[in-house]
Each structure stands twice: as C-alpha cells, then as structure tokens.
Amino acid sequence: MAEEEPDYSNLPLTDRAVHKVWKVRKAAYEEAAAEFTKSPDEGAPCFRDWLMDSGLWKKIVLDSNVAAQQEGITALCAFLQYGGVNACLRSRSHTISPLVEKGLSSTRAGTKQKSLEAVLLYIELDTPGPVLDELAPYLSHKMPKIIAATITTFTSIYTAFGARTVDPKPVLKVLPALFGHADKNVRAEATRLAIELYKWLKDAMKPMFFNDLKPVQQKELEEAFEKVKDESPKQERLLRSQQATTGGEVEQGEEEVEAEMDAFDLAEPVDVLSKLPNEFHEMIASTKWKDRKDALESLFALLNVPRIRDGDFNEIIRALAKSMKDANVVVVTVAANCVELLANGLRKAFGRYRSSIMTPILERLKERKSTVVEALAKSLDAIFGATSLTDCLEDILEYMKHKNPNVKLETLRFLIRCLRNTRDFPSKAESKSIAEASGKLLSDTTAPARDGAAEAMGTLMKILGERQMNPFLDGLDEIRRVKIKEFFETAEVKAKEKPKPVAPPPAAKAPPMKKTLGGKLGLKKKAPPSTGAPPPPVEEPQRPMNPPRAIPSKLSAPKAGPGGLKLKKPAGAGGPSALASPKRGAAPGAPSPEEEPPAPKVAFGGRGLASRPLAKEVAPVARVVDSGLSALEKAELEELRAEKDRWARQIQEEKAEKAKLFLEINELQLQNAQLIEDHTRDNLSIRAKEAQLVRARSDAETAEATVHKQQREMERLKRELARAVRPTSPAPTDISEHVYRGDSLNGSYNGGRNDSIGRSTGNRLSFASTFSGEDKENGYDRGPRVSPTLREGTESGRASAAGNRGGADSIESWKRAAEVTSQLKLRIEQMKAKQGLARNQH
C-alpha cells in the first residue's frame, strides 16, 4: 500500500514557496497567483508578506523544476499586475537577472512568454531606464543563447513601447558588435532588432552603427529597411504615467517627437577641439593652396560626426570665413562643407557664430561653378537649421539687393528654402519685409529672379493665407498674380500659426456680481421701452478723474463700442450692455469686437460707481473706457515707442558694425601674421641661397686647382714621352703604320729573308723606353731598356740573332708607346672637359 503524502497546507504560503518538494512549491505559486488576482486593491494583506521578503521572488524564478518555475513566473506576473508600483520597485532588483538567465532563455514556450511579460510589466509600472540597465550587460554574455534571448527581449520592448518612450541609444551602440558575433542566431536577432528600430527612427539611426557593418550586411539591411520604410508604428502599451493622460494627447505628443527625432538626438557629443591637429592654423594660413585644402580636409574628417560637443570655435569660424574668400574654388568647397557639418553638429550652439560666417558665404554666391554654389547653399541651409528665420532674415534681405545677379538669385532661393522649412510663424513685420523685397524682384531683368520672387510670395502666401497676402498683391498685373497663385497651390510648408490664447469668458464671474450690484445700481429699473436704441447719455461738466490705468477691473468684459457704456435692453430692444477694462482693450492679440462673446448684463469700472447716479456717470465712464488714454498721452506713448524702435535699430546696427569691425581686425591680424611669416621665409631663403653661393665658389676654386694640377701632370707626361723616344728616330705620324711594318718585318724574318730585309731597309729604328716612377704607378711595364739595332754588316750569325731580337723588341716598344699616347689623349680630353665645366660654374 502506497504511503500517503503529508498535508502541507497548514504551512504559511511563503514557507511552502521555498519547500524542498517541487509539488508543494508549485501549489504554493498557484495559490499565491489566485490570491493576487482576487485582491481588492494594491494594499491588500495578501501582498504584505511578499513585499516584506521580496528576495523570495529570486528563488521562485530560479526554481530547479521547470513546471514549478513556470507557475512561479506566472505568480510574479500576477504580483506585478495587481501589486502596482510598490511591487515593481521592491522586487525588480531581485528578478531581472534571473529572468534573463533562466526564464527568457528557457526551452519552454510558456516560461519564455511569462518571463517576457514580467519584464514588460516592470517597464510599464515605472520607467524603462532601470530595466535597460539590467538587461544591457547580457548583450555581451559569453553564452550565445543568453545574448539571443536578450536581443529578442529588446525587440519586444521597442515593439510594445516604441523607440520614443524607450531610449534606443544603449542598443544602437552595441549593434555593430552583435552583427559581428560568431553565432548566426545572434546575428539574426540583431537584424530583427535593427529593423524594428528602423520603423521608429528611419535613417536617423544609420550614422550610429551602419558604417561599422560589413558591405554584405549593409546590403541586406538596406533591402529589409526598404520593405518597412513606409510603416508608421504605434505604441502598443503605455506606461502608467502615460495612462494618466488621454490616448489622443499621447498620440499627439508622439507625432511631435517623431518630427524632431534625428541622428543628432541619438548621438553622443564628440569633442572635436581636442582632436584638432596642432599644425592646423599654420596650414590653413599657408600660401600653398594644397596645404590649405589638406588642413580643411582634416577638419572635415573631425567634424563628420552626428553631434559635436560645444566649445570655443571662434578661431575655426574665422579661418572658415577667411577661406570663403580664397581664390581656389576647391578650398572654398571644402570650407563650405566644414561649415555645414559644424552647424549640423552644434545646432543651437552655432547661433553665436552665424553673423561671422553667413555674410562671407552669401558674398561668395557670386561663384558660377555649380559644385561650389551647391556646397555654399548646403552650408546656408545648415546655418538656418541651427538658427531661425528671424536670425537670418536681415542678411537675406540685404543680399537680395546685391548688384551681382548670381548673389541676388541664390539668396532669393535660400529665402524660399527657409520659408518652406521654417516652423516658426513669421511676424507681421517680417512678412511685410519679405513680401516687399520679393515684390521688387518681380520686375527684375532676369527671368530666374522673377520666377524666384513669385515662388517666394507664393510660399509666403501658403504660410499666411490668401487674406493676409491680398494687400501685397494689389497693383500687380494678372499674369504675376496667376503665377504667384500657382506657386501658392504647389508650395509645401511646415510653419503653423500658434493659436492665440483665448480669453476666459467674461460671464463666468459676472452672474453673482451682477445679482449683487444690479439692485444697488438699479440697472433693470425704469428700463425704456423697446425702441431699438439705447437712451442717450446725459452729459455733465468734466471733473478730475483718476487715470484709467489705475481703475481696477476684475471682470474680463469685452471692449465697449463707440457709443460708450450700454445698458441692457429688454428683449428685442437692442444689444447687451458692456463696460470694458482699459487694460483689456489695450492687450495685444485680443479678439476683434465682431468676434467677442456676448457681454455680461452688467459691468462696472471702478470704485465708487454704485454711489453715483447712473445717468450722470455714463458719459465720463464711457469716455474713459473708449479712449483709455488722453490724446496727449497717446501721442507721447507713440513717440516713446518710435524712439524705442529707433534705439533698438541703432543698437542692432551698432552691434552689426562692431561685428564687422571685429572681423576686419581679425583679418588684419591674420594678414599681419601672414606677412611676418612670409618675411621670415624670405630671409631663410636668402640665407640658404647665400650658403649655396659660398659652397659653389669653394667648389669652383677646388676645380680650378685640380685643373692646374692636371695641366702640370700633362706637361710632365709629355716630357716623359719625349724622353722615351730616341732623338735619332723620327716621330711616327701614325703608330698603326709602325705596328703594321713591324708585323711585316717579323713575318719576312720568319720566312728566312733576314739579310735582304735588313739590307733593303733604309732607316734603322732605335727605340729606347724609359719609364718613370709615375708610369709604374699607372700600371705601365717597367722592363729593361731595349735598344734594338739593325746593322748592315758581315756578321752573319750574330747579326741575324741581333736582328731577330731587335725587330721583336721594336714592335713591342711601339705598341707600348701607342698605348701611352692614347691614354694621354684621353686624360687631356678629360681635363679639358673639367676645365670647361669649372668656367661655366664661374
């Protein structure tokens, strides 16, 4: 008979949750989940023990039995769902890591789903930041299974809450490493995460990681991005803080954030100034255009980041402004590209440099080369994006009057782009100045300028509306009107007029006041019959009154009409009565009388009104309300306002003049530094040339001495040659003849005709070679002196032997002499050549 299982139901629930028997634990988890579901509110007693010992949840999530673990994570989800924010904050630090290690990577689908739901509940109940901080380290875990599960969790988080609510920066930073992981499952999950982020961020996310991927991965992602490019995801789950607002308000806020989200918001600021090369300012001031171009290209590489940390860029701005006047168009183009990157990287912080760089760019628009003009236009657009239409408008209007047609046309095109992209509604004064400047160009001599002016007015009409533009269209012919209307219909703008604050209804507080004061004033007593007109006011002599500004008014009544204070008439008799506050009437942006809501039945202007007869006070009070200020005060006020405007304009002009003077001072300082540098360079060049000249003179003197020495050597060799030949032997004119004759003689001798040859020879050759010590050093043979003698005689044997030796020695001697002669000739030619070179150097 099987043993019966003991009953553990008497143990406390928290004790059973950590029991050694897995079935007991599983039953405890199920019971706890049921209690949480049935709880009336977040403060129910069933939550108390679990909140006091929140570390129990770590053991529950790490349960060794997979079936019990699944029920435990289900109980955790119920605990979070019904326990609220307190349950989230108490247990979050204990459960996120176990959920990643054992829940999200589980092989059981139910456990994985409940673990993901628990993570999403932790985000929903509080904020995403703490959960992301807990999950981020697992993206670099040593086990690929954990990494893939964590990436899947991030994908689900962004799908549920969106990249607007959950910060995407931590994930974008590690995406390149995930795409480079060795495990294919990790790379596949990283691709899904990138696609989900692209739905929210579009191309703004690419600068954060795209360049670090392999070309194949870039191609695959581009294809995947193209498929979801037109999708507009919506947030599926709201945070508790968002649930407090209505759904419509949340959606509106999401649309506003979406319009502003770009790479700048996602990127971390980069410190560019610390990376600037030390020789940058020296190279940018070089006289060689290649050095200036290289300096700007190195600056371009540093500025090519989504976001730049703010700092002191005055020196760089001055260098870029000077480069706009460079004679080389390549330098101008690179400088314009640098301005574009700097403005895009600094955004609002670039505003203080606008006046220093914008004017040189507008001035350089006279360039005819399209690539240069395009680069300048992009830099101007970036400056506008970092500032506003109000900041740029003054310079734009000034250069629209430029004498150069290209400058005028490109400035007009820049204005059109500003009107299209501005989100700020232009003021009346700005609208008037734009319309007047564009209207003047409608009659320009060039067709592009006329078309641009019509487009500018059409774009402005799209912003303001047709009614507000009608005054500026008066006096134009029908052709120009039609053209402006065409541009108006096709224009796309982003500016929207902000709704003016609506004044609270004046009748909100009037009824109790009216009921109290009506009896005192008796406004409804003796009401005249319905005659269609109010009773005429009774005039009385004027007497001193307090200034209108001192009259307190707590009612938000509309302004009175020209008839002064009007009394309420009986039904069908006339309009309502109203007494407007002077401050109310003078407030800017107040609605016109035609658009005013119905006035209260009774209104009062100030202290003491109830103590005076109504008939005697109607006219004076109406006069005060109607005029507000006396004519003298109005004139004085207008004069003060005009004076204020004049001073403001003068201050602006002085500021502009000051900026221009500072710019000229900086340019003069740069020119001075350039002149000093050029002077130093010239001095160094002169000294180098002098040193070269000294060396050349020394070399010339050395060469001259060498020539003299060689000449002496040549004379000595000539003397030695003369001594080597006997005085009795005639100097041969051609050594080859003697060599030939010697050969013939030798052959004849060998033929046995020595006697006849000896007799037929008319001349007897005698050659004595005498070699000096220098000849020995030059490699010549230093043999014994040979004196061959051909004798005519009767000595047969002795003569024959002597003739044989003499002929051979003579041939050898002439050969040596020929060699010496040829060598002498060669050396003489060499010395002549050196001597001629030395003379040329002199």
Question: pLDDT of 186-230, one tens digit each?
Answer: 999 999 999 999 999 988 888 888 888 999 999 999 999 999 988
Q: What is the reported pTM? A: 0.53
Among 321, 328, 319, 337, which Cα is nearest to 369's? Answer: 328
End-to-end CA distance of the chain: 131
Q: How far is CA 805 from CA 742, 745, 788, 798, in A?
A: 12, 12, 7, 11
Cα–chain-centroid distance for residue 441? 34
Indicate if the pLDDT at residue 705 is higher than 60: yes
Average pLDDT over residues 49-78: 93
| Residue spans in the chain of domains classed CATH 1.25.10.10 | 13-243, 269-490
Average pLDDT over residues 334-351: 94
The least confident of 63-67, 251-255, 433-437 is: 251-255
d(CA 450, CA 479): 12
Angle at 448 between CA 446 and CA 454, to 5 degrees: 105
Q: The domain 269-490: what is its CATH number?
A: 1.25.10.10
The least confident of 155-164, 354-363, 623-632 is: 623-632
pLDDT, position 745: 42
Among 346, 372, 345, which Cα is nearest to 361's? Answer: 372
DSSP state of 240: H
Indicate if the pLDDT at residue 61 is higher than 90: yes
Indicate if the pLDDT at residue 41 is higher than 50: yes
* Beta-bridge mates of residue 308: 270
Phi-psi region of 725 (alpha: psi -120 to 50; beta: other; left: phi over 0): beta
User: Residue 266: pLDDT band by 50, 70, 90 thresholds?
Assistant: confident
Average pLDDT over residues 618-642: 65
pLDDT, position 616: 41
The amino acid occupying position 309 is: R
pLDDT, position 87: 93
Residue 513, class by beta-carbon neighbours within 10 Å (0-12 exposed, 13-18 middle, 19+ buried)? middle
Q: The domain 13-243: what is its CATH number?
A: 1.25.10.10
**279 Cβ neighbours under 8 A, 6+ residues apart:** 295
Share of the chain above pLDDT 70, in %: 71
d(CA 605, CA 715): 135
The amino acid occupying position 262 is: D
C-beta of residue 583 within 8 angstroms of C-beta of residue 659 = no
C-beta of residue 105 within 8 angstroms of C-beta of residue 93 = no
User: Residue 346: pLDDT band by 50, 70, 90 thresholds?
Assistant: very high
Q: How far is CA 599 from CA 332, 583, 622, in A?
A: 65, 17, 15
User: Residue 508: pLDDT band by 50, 70, 90 thresholds?
Assistant: very low
pLDDT, position 311: 92
Mean pLDDT (the chain, rounded): 78
Average pLDDT over residues 293-301: 95
Average pLDDT over residues 132-139: 94
* Beta-bridge mates of residue 270: 308
User: Residue 556: pLDDT band by 50, 70, 90 thresholds?
Assistant: very low
User: Residue 297: pLDDT band by 50, 70, 90 thresholds?
Assistant: very high
pLDDT, position 707: 92
Average pLDDT over residues 162-166: 91
DSSP state of 103: I
User: Residue 615: pLDDT band by 50, 70, 90 thresholds?
Assistant: very low
C-beta of residue 680 within 8 angstroms of C-beta of residue 808 = no
